[in-house]
Amino acid sequence: MNETVRVSPVKVLLAKPGLDGHDRGAKVVAIAMKEAGMEVVYMGLHQTLEAIVAAAVQEDVDVIGLSILSGGHLPICRRLMELLAAEGVDDIAVAVGGVIPKRDVAVLQEMGVKGVFPGGADLHKMTDAIKALVG
């Protein structure tokens, strides 16, 4: 069996796009990811999607994680996926968490979002899923 083994930790960029001002959940997720052995770049609040994509490219991340509590997850993720494709880095996995109705999960997945974690998601299951996205 000739399998590729990942040597470096999964590198995740976490950000809060738009005007959403609550970041406690994103900080808890960042800590859980670090405890699970991931490298985390936390951009913080009030980020533009263009800045998130630029940072993801510069930091050479495996995953972009967005925390969205504003209800704008569909247009935000749609635009993010467009920007990633325009930059030629649509191989970066995208995950989103926050206030996400069940009816929107399939829509997000159809856009190419690889991980959807509504509020209250189990942190261990989430970190395992993020690691699985990267392989």
Give the domains, in start order, of the chain with CATH numbers. 11-134 (3.40.50.280)
Q: Residue 71's CB: how many other CB atoms inside 10 A?
A: 14
pLDDT of 64 reads 98
Pick 20 or 64 by higher pLDDT: 64
Contact predicate 10/63, CB 8 Å: yes
Place of tokens 């970066």: 92
Residue 135 binned pLDDT confidence (cut-offs 50, 70, 90):
confident
Q: E strand or H helix at 111, and its extent? A: helix 102-111
Contact predicate 44/17, CB 8 Å: no
Q: Which of 17-21, 40-44, 51-55, 90-94 has the lowest mean pLDDT?
A: 17-21
Report the C-alpha gap between 97 and 75 in whole angstroms.
Answer: 14
pLDDT of 5 reads 58
Please check the confidence at residue 119 and state whether its pLDDT lies above 90.
no
